[in-house]
C-alpha cells in the first residue's frame, strides 16, 4: 500500500498587520465587539504589489526547506486559492515557474475556505495511485482584495496569508483518509456574486466583494465540521481519544469552540490560531498546522484531524499521522 506522508510545512503572513483598533477607525465597530464575537484581534494584509503567488512562494520555499526536498523532486503542484493572481495561467503554474519546476502537472483548486482540504485530497490520491511521488500542496489567499472595507459584517473577519505542505510517498500513513463534501444549494449564503463571465462590470468597477449571511454560515460551519470529525474517525475505526489534535478551519474562535464541543473533542486538543491571522480562507488550515508544528505543540508521530469549511458550501477533512 502507498500512502502520502507529510514531510515538511511552511507558512507566510504579509508584513502589514491590521488591528481591531485600526479597523474601528474605518468602520463602526470596536475591539471588544470583534473579540467577543470572533476572537480575532488582528489580521495580516498583503501590500498593494504583493500577490497570492508571492505568499504561496514564500510558504512553499519554507516547506521545501523543512522537508529537505529540492524543487526538482516535486512532481505535482496544487495551489488552493479563491484569489488567483490572474484569470490564467493558474497560480500553481506561476508558482511552479518561480520554483524552477517544469514538466509535472500544476493546477489550482477552488473550494474557498475548504480549498486546502480539497487540494490535499487530490494530492493524496495522486500519490496513492502512484501518479506522483512528491507533491507540493499550497493554500494561499489575498482575500483582502475581495472584501468591502466599508462592510463591518465581513471586513473584521478576513486576512491574507499562505501555508504549504510537502507530501511524499511512503509505505506507512501519513494520510489515513480524506473526506470531501459540497452542497451548492447554499451558494448564496457566502459568495462573491460576480466574476469574469457574470457581472463583470462590478469587477471592473472594483465592487466584486464577499457577501455573507453570517448567522447561517456559522450554523452550517459548526454542523459540517462537527459531523466531519465523526465521519473521519468512524471511517478509520478510531475514537476521539485516539486524536492528538483537531485543526478546524480558522474562521472564528466561537465556531472552533462550538465544533470541538459538538464533536466531543477535549478543548485542549483543539488548535486555535485565528486570533492573530483572521480567516485566511484556503491558507487557514496549513497556517495553523505549520505554526503548531513550529511552536512544538504538534509533534512527530501524533494523530491530527484537519478540516475546512467554505463557500459553496464546501467542506472536507483529512486524518493524518504527522
| Cβ pair 147, 210 in contact under 8 A | yes
Residue found by looking up cell 510558504 in the block: 59
Report helix angle 31-38 to 253-263, nearest 10.
20
Nearer to ligand UT7, 94 or 212 (CB): 212
Q: What three-state secondary structure class fits 140?
A: strand
Peptide bond into 183 cis (omega under 30): no
153 touches ligand UT7 by CB under 6 A: yes
152 touches ligand UT7 by CB under 6 A: yes
Return the residues of window 226-265 that contact ligand UT7 according to CB under 6 A: 249, 251-252, 255
Return the residues of window 269-288 that contact ligand UT7 according to CB under 6 A: 279
Considering only the stretches 12-20, 43-51, 207-215, 227-235, report the one whose residues sit in contact with ligand UT7 under the rule CB under 6 A: 207-215
Maximal CA-CA distance, the chain: 56
206 touches ligand UT7 by CB under 6 A: no
- Chosen residue from 145, 218, 236, 238 binding ligand UT7 by CB under 6 A: 218
33 touches ligand UT7 by CB under 6 A: yes
Instruction: Determine the Cα–Cα distance for residues 38 and 237; give it in Å rounded to an integer.
Output: 34
Residue found by looking up cell 483543539 in the block: 270
Instruction: Determine the Cα–Cα distance for residues 43 and 46; give it in Å rounded to an integer.
Output: 10
Nearer to ligand UT7, 10 or 312 (CB): 312
**CA Rg, the chain, in Å?**
18
- Chosen residue from 113, 169, 192, 222 binding ligand UT7 by CB under 6 A: 113
Least CB distance from residue 150 to ligand UT7, whole Å?
11
Q: Tell me whether residue 181 is one of the annotated catalytic residues.
A: no
Cell for 134?
A: 512528491
37 touches ligand UT7 by CB under 6 A: yes
Known catalytic residues are 113, 249, 279
Amino acid at each position: 500500500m502507498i500512502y502520502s506522508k507529510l514531510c515538511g510545512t511552511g507558512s507566510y503572513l504579509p508584513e502589514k498587520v491590521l488591528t481591531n483598533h485600526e479597523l474601528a477607525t474605518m468602520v463602526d465597530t470596536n475591539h471588544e465587539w470583534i473579540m467577543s464575537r470572533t476572537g480575532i484581534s488582528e489580521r495580516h494584509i498583503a501590500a498593494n504589489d504583493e500577490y497570492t503567488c508571492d505568499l504561496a512562494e514564500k510558504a512553499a520555499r519554507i516547506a521545501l526547506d523543512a522537508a529537505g526536498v529540492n524543487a526538482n523532486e516535486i512532481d505535482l503542484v496544487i495551489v488552493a486559492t479563491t484569489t488567483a493572481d490572474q484569470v490564467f495561467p493558474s497560480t500553481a503554474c506561476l508558482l511552479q515557474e518561480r520554483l524552477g519546476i517544469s514538466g509535472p502537472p500544476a493546477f489550482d483548486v477552488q473550494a474557498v475556505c475548504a480549498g486546502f482540504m480539497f487540494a490535499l485530497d487530490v494530492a493524496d490520491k495522486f500519490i496513492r495511485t502512484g501518479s506522483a511521488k512528491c507533491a507540493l500542496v499550497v493554500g494561499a489567499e489575498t482575500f483582502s482584495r475581495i472584501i468591502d472595507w466599508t462592510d463591518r459584517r465581513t471586513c473584521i473577519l478576513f486576512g491574507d496569508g499562505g501555508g504549504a505542505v510537502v507530501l511524499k510517498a511512503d509505505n506507512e500513513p501519513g494520510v489515513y483518509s480524506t473526506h470531501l463534501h459540497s452542497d451548492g444549494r447554499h451558494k448564496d449564503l457566502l459568495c462573491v456574486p460576480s466574476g469574469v463571465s457574470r457581472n463583470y462590470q462590478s469587477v471592473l468597477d472594483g465592487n466584486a466583494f464577499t457577501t455573507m449571511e453570517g448567522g447561517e454560515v456559522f450554523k452550517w460551519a459548526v454542523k459540517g465540521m462537527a459531523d466531519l470529525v465523526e465521519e473521519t474517525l468512524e471511517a478509520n475505526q478510531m475514537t476521539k481519544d485516539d486524536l492528538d489534535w483537531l485543526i478546524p478551519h480558522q474562521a472564528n474562535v466561537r465556531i472552533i469552540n462550538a465544533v470541538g464541543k459538538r464533536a466531543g473533542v477535549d478543548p485542549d486538543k483543539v488548535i486555535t490560531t485565528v486570533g492573530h491571522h483572521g480567516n485566511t480562507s484556503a491558507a487557514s488550515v496549513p497556517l495553523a498546522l505549520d505554526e503548531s508544528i513550529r511552536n512544538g505543540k504538534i509533534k512527530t508521530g501524533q494523530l491530527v484531524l484537519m478540516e475546512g469549511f467554505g463557500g459553496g458550501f464546501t467542506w472536507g477533512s483529512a486524518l493524518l499521522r504527522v
